[in-house]
Amino acid sequence: MSTDRRHWLKGAGAALAGLWLAACDKLTQDPRAVRVLRRAETLTYRAQRAATDRRALAREFTVADISKDFRANGSTRPDSEAYQAMLADNFADYRLVIDGLVEQPRRFSLGEIRAMPARSQITRHDCVEGWSSIGKWKGARLGPLLDLAGLKPAARYVVFHCADTLEQTLDGTGQYYESIDLIDAYHPQTILAYEMNDATLPVRHGAPLRLRVERQLGYKQAKYVMRIEVVDRLDGVDESGRTRLGRGRGGYWPDRGYEWYAGI
Ligand SMILES: Nc1nc2c(c(=O)[nH]1)N[C@H]1C(S)=C(S)[C@@H](COP(=O)(O)O)O[C@H]1N2
Ligand SMILES: [Mo]
């Protein structure tokens, strides 16, 4: 089953279930409707099974397993003036923006994010380049943060816009970004981490906030997250026919040929 179909089922499932309950008495008198409902039931069941796999937790490790030297990869210090200025001020002026397909666009200070429902986890980070490191992460769960903004019904993907430009391109598609679907966004281990190994998240690992989406590979773990945009599609174009998000494949590395869904 396609991911789109799954999103649709997850997003629309609850709403439809409600409608069906309300309309149920009338519908079940119509044999055609009964057939449709039965089919939807099997579909939902299959979607549920697929979604249950996706909801399983990534393996967690113990303090003794934590890597002595967690590697840093990709950008290790965004060079933009805006980032440098925030860093110089210890991120006092940093605000995480949540916008796009939300009822109420929001801006959160680090203090507000630290006051949100948090989770700690010791997990293994696997980079496609062939190395792994185990680290302890603490951060705000993404789901409750999104709920504060309130997803609009059309919401399908959550896009993370980062502070760093990894490649200089004329059209600006060299800026790092990543995206996940709503199943991963609401996964209990999906957090915006502000601590690593019991200390403030270091710059080389993504200060002040980095995504941990533990069921996926390293390049999905967006560092230097500045803005979270909720969208209905990843390949949308603007009036001039230009892709709105990078090159339209949902992430800096997916735009360059890597899988968008990098499950492990
Ligand atoms: N903003 C941003 N996020 C990023 C990257 C990057 O270059 N910029 N590199 C990715 C890759 S390929 C990996 S393996 C991890 C590295 O995270 P680490 O530096 O904490 O090990 O971050 C990912 N997230
Ligand atoms: Mo990576």
pLDDT at 1: 43
224 Cα nearest atom in ligand 1: 1
Q: Is residue 10 part of a domain?
A: no
Binding pocket residue ranges, ligand 1, CB within 6 Å: 71-75, 127, 162, 164, 166, 176, 205-206, 218-219, 221-224
Average pLDDT by stretches of 10, the chain with 264 residues: 47 44 47 58 69 90 98 97 98 98 98 98 97 98 98 98 95 95 98 98 98 98 98 97 97 97 94
pLDDT at 206: 98
75 Cα nearest atom in ligand 1: 7
Q: Is residue 101 part of a domain?
A: yes
Q: Which residues pair with 179 in a beta bridge?
A: 159
Q: Is residue 216 part of a domain?
A: yes
225 Cα nearest atom in ligand 1: 1
Q: Is residue 63 part of a domain?
A: yes
pTM: 0.84
Find the CATH number of the domain harbouring 248. Answer: 3.90.420.10
Q: Is residue 2 part of a domain?
A: no
State phi, psi for 196 to the nearest 5 degrees. Answer: -135, 130
Domain that holds residue 79: 57-256
* pLDDT tens digits, one per residue of 196-206: 999 999 999 99
> Phi-psi region for residue 49, left (φ > 0), alpha (ψ -120 to 50) or beta?
alpha
DSSP-derived secondary structure for 114-175:
HTS-EEEEEEEEEETTTEEEEEEEEEEEHHHHHHHH-B-TT--EEEEEEEEESS--TTSTTE
Q: Is residue 79 part of a domain?
A: yes
Q: Is 108 helix (H, G, I), strand (E, B) or coil?
A: strand
Of 136, 221, 253, the one to substitute when testing ligand 1's pocket (max ligand atoms within 8 A of C-beta) is 221
Of 219, 224, 226, 259, the one to substitute when testing ligand 1's pocket (max ligand atoms within 8 A of C-beta) is 219
pLDDT at 34: 56
Residue 83 burial (CB < 10 Å; 0-12/13-18/19+)? Answer: buried
Q: Is residue 106 part of a domain?
A: yes
Q: How many domains does the chain have?
A: 1
Q: Is residue 9 part of a domain?
A: no
pLDDT at 8: 44
210 Cα nearest atom in ligand 1: 3
pLDDT at 50: 75
* pLDDT tens digits, one per residue of 141-170: 999 999 999 999 999 999 999 999 999 998
Token pair 């069941």 is found at 45
